[in-house]
Amino acid sequence: QKEVEQDPGPLSVPEGAIVSLNCTYSNSAFQYFMWYRQYSRKGPELLMYTYSSGNKEDGRFTAQVDKSSKYISLFIRDSQPSDSATYLCAMSGGGADGLTFGKGTHLIIQP
Amino acid sequence: NAGVTQTPKFRILKIGQSMTLQCTQDMNHNYMYWYRQDPGMGLKLIYYSVGAGITDKGEVPNGYNVSRSTTEDFPLRLELAAPSQTSVYFCASSYSISGILVRVTQYFGPGTRLLVL
Supply the pLDDT for residue B40: 79
The rounded mean pLDDT for chain B is: 91
Banded model confidence at residue A92, pLDDT cuts 50, 70, 90: confident
Yes or no, beta carbons of B105 and A101 under 8 Å apart? no
Among B88, B98, B77, which residue's Cα sits nearest to residue B21?
Answer: B77
Residue B5 in this model has a pLDDT that exceeds 60: yes
B110 in A contact zone (CB under 8 Å): yes
Over range B71-99, report the average pLDDT.
90
Task: Provide the residue type at A49 as one letter.
Answer: Y
Rounded distance, CA A54 to CA B73, Å?
A: 37
φ/ψ of B11, rounded to 5, equals: -150, 140
φ/ψ of A7, rounded to 5, equals: -70, 120
Yes or no, beta carbons of A102 and B42 under 8 Å apart? yes
Over range B18-24, report the average pLDDT.
97
Rounded distance, CA B79 to CA A63, Å?
A: 41
Nearest to B104 among A6, A42, A92 (CB): A92
B39 in A contact zone (CB under 8 Å): no
Supply the pLDDT for residue B1: 73
The winner for highest mean pLDDT among A26-30, A31-35, B68-72 is B68-72
CB B69 within 8 A of CB A22: no
A44 in B contact zone (CB under 8 Å): yes
Yes or no, beta carbons of B104 and A43 under 8 Å apart? no
Supply the pLDDT for residue B100: 59
A10 in B contact zone (CB under 8 Å): no
